[in-house]
C-alpha cells in the first residue's frame, strides 16, 4: 500500500507543526543551559527561530497536496489553512521579538516561555488544519493551555495570577461547552469528521433539536475564545493582568486560531445556516456595539485594547456570518469566499497593529514600571518621536483609517458582507467603526498633543538608553509592524499570493 510514502506525505503536511514541536522540545530539554549564564541569551533567538522556521517551511511547502486530507482524514491542508498559518506564524515571530525585550526588562525571562509559545502556536495551527472536531478540540486545548500559563507568567504579580486563573476557569468552561457540542454532533452525525458532519447537515441534521444544540454549543465555545459579547468578560482582566508580551501573543494567537477554525466550522455547517446564522449575527452586532462603547470609558490602554478586541471579534464574526450565505446562490458563494480571504487579511492587519501597540507598551516598560495607562503615553511624540508615531500608526490602523492595513481588512469584510446582501450587518459595522475612531484617536491625542507628565527622563527611565534598546527585539518588531501596516495599506496586493483563499 506504499505505507511509508503515505506517512511521509502526512508528516510533510504538518511540517510547520513538527518544526514548532521540535524547537519547543529542544528548548525544554536545554532549559537548564538556557536558564542562566551565557546560555540565557539564546532562549529568545531559539524561540524566534522556531516560529520563523515554521513560517519558512510553510512558505516553501509544495502546494500539490493541497486540499488533501492527512492521517486518514484527521487533518487537512488547504489555502484557508496556509494563509491563516502565515498570519499566525508571523504574529508568533513578532511576539517572540516583543517578549525578548519585555521579559528581560521585567526580569521575567525563562526559556519555558518560548517553548510554551511555540507549543501554543502549534495548537492554533492544529485548529486550522483540523478536519475532525476531535483534532480541533485538541488543538484548541493545546493552544489554550499555553495561553493560560503565559497569562500567569509573572508569578509574583497578583494581577497576573488573577488573569491566569480567570482565563483558565472561563476557558475550561468554554472548552467543556465545546466538547459537549462535539459530543452532540457525534450524536446527530455519527462521526466527528467534518465531511461527514457536512453531509449530515445536508440531510437536515440541524433541524433536529440535538443538532441545533450541537451547533450552538460549538458557536459558544469558539465565541469564548475570540471574546465576543456576551462571552467577553474574561478579556479585559486577562489583557490587563498578563505580562504585556503575553497579552500581545494571546490576543493575536487566540483570535487567529479560533477565527480560522470558526470559518471552517461554519463553512461546514453552512447547510443549516437558519440555525446558527441568527445567533452569529446577534453576537456580532452585540460585540461591535458593546466592545466599542465600553472601550470609550477605558483609561488603561491594555483594557481599552481588550474591549477594542471585543469589537474586532464582532467585525470578524461578520466575516464568519458570511459563511452562512454560501448556499444562497452565486452571490452568496462569492461572499463566503471573499469573507474568508477578507477575514484572514483582517487578522493579519489586526495582528500587526496589536502586536505593534503592545510592543510600544513593552518598549516603554522597565524593571520597576509597567507602562499600561494613557498617562504613560503622554507626550510620547515629543519625548520619543519614533515610538510615539509608531503607536499613532497602530491606532489609526486599528481604527481602520485609509492607507493603513486595518482599513483594507475592514473594507474586504465589509465588501464581502455587502456582496452577501446583509445590509444590517454592514451598516452596524460601518457605524460602530466610526464610533471606535473616538477612543483610538484619544490615544493619539495623548501621544501627540499632551505634555509629558514627567519633565525628563522619559517613561523608560533613561532617555539615553532608549536608543540602543530600540535595536533589540521589540524595536525590530515595532519596525516590522510599522512597515507592514503602511505597506499593506498602500499595496495590499503585495501579499495576496499568500493570503487568497481558493476553493
Nearer to other proteins, 3 or 158 (CB): 3
132 binds other proteins (CB under 8 A): yes
Which range touches other proteins (CB under 8 A), out of 58-66, 141-149, 324-332, 488-496?
A: 141-149
Contact 267, 337 (CB under 8 A): no
68 binds other proteins (CB under 8 A): no
Rounded CA-CA distance 295/307 in Å is 5
Contact 108, 44 (CB under 8 A): no
Contact 131, 81 (CB under 8 A): no
Rounded CA-CA distance 415/456 in Å is 48
173 binds other proteins (CB under 8 A): no
Q: Which of residues 35-64 bind other proteins (CB under 8 A)?
A: 35
Q: Which residues on adjacent β-strands are paired with residue 133?
A: none
149 binds other proteins (CB under 8 A): yes
Rounded CA-CA distance 63/266 in Å is 25
The binding track of 2-41 with respect to other proteins, each residue x by CB under 8 A or -, is -x--xx--x----------x------x------x------
**Cα dist. 394→250, 260, 298, 494 in Å?**
18, 23, 18, 20
Rounded CA-CA distance 419/417 in Å is 5
Q: Which residues on adjacent β-strands are paired with residue 76?
A: 69
Which range touches other proteins (CB under 8 A), out of 190-198, 306-314, 444-452, 454-462?
A: 190-198
The binding track of 198-227 with respect to other proteins, each residue x by CB under 8 A or -, is -----x-x--xxx--x--------------
Secondary-structure percent of the chain, ordered helix, strand, coil, rounded to 5: 80, 0, 20
Q: Which of residues 90-119 bind other proteins (CB under 8 A)?
A: 110, 112, 115-116, 119
Q: Which of residues 393-412 bind other proteins (CB under 8 A)?
A: none
Taking residue 449's Cβ as centre, other Cβ atoms within 10 Å add up to 11
122 binds other proteins (CB under 8 A): yes
Enter the C-alpha cell of residue 134.
476531535
How many residues belong to the site for other proteins (CB under 8 A)?
50
Please enumerate in sequence order all residues whose Cβ is within 8 A of that of 209, keeping only pairs 6 or more positions apart, or say none: none
Nearer to other proteins, 72 or 491 (CB): 72
Among 48, 84, 91, 146, binds other proteins (CB under 8 A): 146
Contact 108, 287 (CB under 8 A): no
**Residues of the shown chain interacting with other proteins in the complex, contacts defined by CB under 8 A:** 3, 6-7, 10, 21, 28, 35, 70-75, 110, 112, 115-116, 119-120, 122-123, 126, 131-132, 134-135, 138-139, 141-142, 145-146, 148-149, 152-153, 155, 164, 187-191, 193, 203, 205, 208-210, 213
Amino acid at each position: 500500500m506504499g505505507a511509508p510514502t503515505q506517512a511521509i506525505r502526512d508528516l510533510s503536511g504538518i511540517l510547520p507543526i513538527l518544526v514548532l514541536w521540535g524547537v519547543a522540545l529542544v528548548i525544554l530539554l536545554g532549559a537548564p543551559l538556557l536558564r542562566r549564564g551565557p546560555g540565557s541569551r539564546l532562549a529568545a533567538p531559539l524561540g524566534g527561530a522556531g516560529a520563523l522556521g515554521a513560517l519558512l517551511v510553510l512558505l516553501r511547502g509544495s502546494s500539490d497536496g493541497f486540499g488533501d486530507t492527512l492521517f486518514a482524514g484527521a487533518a487537512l491542508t488547504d489555502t484557508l489553512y496556509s494563509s491563516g498559518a502565515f498570519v499566525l506564524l508571523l504574529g508568533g515571530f513578532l511576539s517572540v521579538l516583543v517578549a525578548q525585550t519585555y521579559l528581560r526588562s521585567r526580569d521575567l525571562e525563562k526559556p519555558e516561555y518560548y517553548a510554551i509559545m511555540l507549543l501554543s502556536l502549534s495548537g492554533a495551527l492544529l485548529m486550522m488544519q483540523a478536519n475532525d472536531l476531535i483534532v480541533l478540540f485538541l488543538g484548541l486545548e493545546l493552544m489554550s493551555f499555553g495561553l493560560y500559563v503565559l497569562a500567569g507568567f509573572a508569578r509574583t504579580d497578583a494581577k497576573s495570577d488573577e488573569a491566569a486563573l480567570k482565563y483558565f476557569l472561563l476557558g475550561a468552561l468554554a472548552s467543556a461547552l465545546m466538547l459537549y457540542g462535539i459530543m452532540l454532533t457525534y450524536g446527530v452525525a455519527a462521526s466527528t469528521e467534518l465531511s461527514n458532519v457536512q453531509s449530515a447537515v445536508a440531510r437536515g441534521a440541524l433541524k433536529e433539536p440535538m443538532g441545533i444544540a450541537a451547533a450552538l454549543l460549538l458557536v459558544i465555545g469558539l465565541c469564548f475564545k475570540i471574546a465576543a459579547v456576551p462571552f467577553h468578560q474574561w478579556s479585559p482582566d486577562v489583557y490587563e493582568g498578563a505580562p504585556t508580551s503575553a497579552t500581545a501573543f494571546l490576543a493575536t494567537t487566540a483570535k487567529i486560531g479560533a477565527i480560522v477554525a470558526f470559518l471552517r466550522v461554519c463553512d461546514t455547517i453552512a447547510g443549516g445556516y437558519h440555525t446558527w446564522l441568527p445567533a452569529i449575527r446577534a453576537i456580532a452586532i452585540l460585540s461591535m456595539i458593546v466592545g466599542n462603547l465600553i472601550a470609550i470609558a477605558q483609561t488603561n490602554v491594555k483594557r481599552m485594547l481588550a474591549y477594542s478586541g471585543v469589537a474586532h471579534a464582532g467585525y470578524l464574526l461578520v466575516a464568519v456570518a458570511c459563511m452562512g450565505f454560501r448556499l444562497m446562490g452565486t452571490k452568496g458563494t462569492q461572499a463566503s469566499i471573499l469573507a474568508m480571504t477578507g477575514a484572514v487579511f483582517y487578522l493579519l492587519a489586526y495582528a500587526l497593529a496589536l502586536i505593534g501597540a503592545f510592543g510600544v507598551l513593552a518598549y516603554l516598560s522597565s524593571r520597576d514600571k509597567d507602562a499600561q495607562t494613557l498617562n504613560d503615553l503622554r507626550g510620547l511624540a515629543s519625548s520619543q518621536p519614533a515610538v510615539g508615531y509608531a503607536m499613532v500608526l497602530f491606532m489609526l490602523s486599528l481604527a481602520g483609517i485609509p492607507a493603513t492595513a486595518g482599513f483594507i481588512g475592514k473594507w474586504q469584510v465589509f465588501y464581502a458582507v455587502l456582496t452577501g446582501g446583509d445590509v444590517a450587518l454592514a451598516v452596524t459595522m460601518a457605524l460602530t467603526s466610526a464610533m471606535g475612531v473616538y477612543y483610538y484617536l484619544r490615544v493619539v491625542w495623548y501621544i501627540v498633543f499632551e505634555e509629558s507628565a514627567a519633565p525628563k527622563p522619559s517613561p523608560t527611565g533613561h532617555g539615553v538608553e532608549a536608543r540602543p534598546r530600540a535595536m533589540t527585539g521589540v524595536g525590530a518588531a515595532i519596525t516590522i509592524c510599522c512597515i507592514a501596516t503602511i505597506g499593506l495599506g498602500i499595496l495590499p496586493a503585495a501579499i495576496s499570493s499568500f493570503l487568497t483563499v481558493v476553493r
